[in-house]
Amino acid sequence: MRRFLVLIVLISSIISGCGKKEVSFSEIHLGQATTDVKKFIENRVPSADSNGIHIFQHTANQRYLYLDQDFLESGKGFGSLDIKTDDSTWSIYLTEEPDVTEPAENYRLYKIKLDKEYEYMRVFTNGEETYFQTVGG
């Protein structure tokens, strides 16, 4: 009986330890970011044609996505974020919120945890593919 219980505990430990990793993200405040991320945000170079989308690679599977005011079209606010993956690509889907006169904050910062390393990275705004203004890491 004792061996049977040990076997059950061992099998459950193996099964729970082999769970599938998933991509996750959360919105954070600038104060919660690492020093490297804060420096990256402070040192980005603004330009007249900026789209306001910046990404920082902190580790192999961790990124920070920073959206500034240049991301927003006039009169719109920050909308939603979604991330989709396939075998070799991870894609970020951003939307704007219509009819917002003044956003509560002038930026959005997301901490993204990937489940593995990907060969390609893409970004879309309101369904159309765009580019990262700044990439760092």
- Is 100 in contact with 72 (CB distance < 8 Å)? no
Q: Percent of the chain, pLDDT > 70?
A: 77
Domain boundaries, the chain: 22-136
**For the residues of 55-89, what is the DSSP string, one character each?**
EEEEETTEEEEEEEGGGSPTT-EEEEEEEEE-SSE
* Structure tokens that stand for 41 in this block: 């945000």
pLDDT higher than 60, residue 46: yes
Choose the weakest-confidence range: 14-18, 41-45, 92-96: 14-18
Query: Whole-structure pTM over 0.85, yes or no?
Result: no
E strands within 1-137? 24-28, 53-59, 62-68, 77-85, 89-97, 107-113, 120-125, 128-129, 134-136
pLDDT higher than 50, residue 16: no
Average pLDDT for residues 41-58, to the nearest whole number?
81
